């Protein structure tokens, strides 16, 4: 019963965080405009992404601290920390491969162009407010894994089976990103996160994989030209 209450409170915190931007971002925009700051709109949105997600993460972790059994609901022996870290790294590589396959399916069969508008928007915010990158790499993986893997997947698993629980949690994960053209990519990622969580019985595993994935995306977006130039020079040396 206590775990159910904790899960409900975390869900409420997450929903409030998602909706709070409609109120607080405009207030920040008024303040930044008053001081005549450039790119006030990006500053307001960026700072609220950081503050909103940071506050929601802090509240969530405090609730988990009061209910230490909350993070280990799956039956069976949980992996040790080294195993969880190893599966987290492997899960990151699995997600990269899965996303590549999903992207190719989108392009070949549905004519959907590569590139995420959601990612582009967050990168634009991060360029104005670098603290946004903390939200992308740290706060988002913690909150999303607790919501979609621990709460949704963990609640459905005992009542259904792995496939159904993973499918529902991964589709929910995809929908919440509001980028329906790339729903397959998000769903594949969510399914793999669910698998490594189920495999190790430790939510830290999918959090690690999720953090590595988001961190990889941020690095590639920030240093795209440098990476391309390096690969071109490397190819020239091998000729």
**pLDDT tens, position by position, 207-237:** 999 999 999 999 999 988 888 787 777 777 7
CA angle centred on 54, ends 51 and 55, rounded to 5°: 85
Q: Could you tell me what percent of the chain has a pLDDT over 90? A: 75
Catalytic residues, by residue number, are: 144, 177
Please tell me the distance from the alpha carbon of residue 125 to that of residue 17, in angstroms, as a whole number. Answer: 17
Domain range list for the chain: 2-73+80-238
Which pTM value belongs to this model?
0.94
Q: Average pLDDT for residues 150-170, to the nearest whole number?
A: 95
Please tell me the distance from the alpha carbon of residue 130 to that of residue 113, in angstroms, as a whole number. Answer: 28
DSSP-based three-state secondary structure for 3: helix
pLDDT tens digits, one per residue of 76-121: 899 999 999 999 999 999 999 999 999 999 998 888 887 788 888 9
């Amino acid at each position: 019963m206590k775990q159910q209450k904790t899960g409900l409170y975390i869900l409420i915190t997450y929903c409030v965080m998602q909706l709070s931007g409609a109120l607080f971002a405009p207030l920040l925009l008024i303040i930044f405009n008053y001081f005549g700051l450039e790119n006030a709109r990006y500053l307001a949105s960026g700072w609220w992404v950081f503050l909103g997600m940071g506050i929601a993460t802090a509240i969530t972790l405090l609730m988990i601290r009061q209910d230490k059994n909350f993070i280990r609901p799956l039956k069976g022996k949980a992996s040790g920390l080294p195993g969880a870290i190893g599966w987290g790294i492997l899960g990151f590589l699995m997600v990269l491969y899965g996303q590549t396959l999903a992207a190719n399916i989108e392009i070949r069969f549905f004519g959907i162009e590569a590139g995420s508008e959601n990612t582009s928007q967050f990168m634009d915010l991060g360029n104005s407010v670098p603290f946004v990158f903390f939200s992308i790499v740290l706060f988002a993986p913690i909150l999303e894994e607790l919501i979609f893997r621990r709460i949704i997947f963990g609640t459905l698993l005992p009542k259904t089976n792995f496939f159904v629980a993973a499918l529902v949690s991964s589709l929910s994960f995809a929908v919440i990103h509001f980028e329906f053209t790339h729903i397959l990519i998000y769903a594949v990622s969510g399914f793999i996160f669910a698998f490594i969580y189920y495999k190790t019985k430790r939510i830290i595993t999918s959090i690690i994989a999720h953090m590595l994935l988001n961190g990889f995306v941020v690095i590639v977006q920030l240093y795209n030209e440098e990476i391309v130039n390096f690969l071109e020079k490397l190819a020239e040396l091998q000729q």
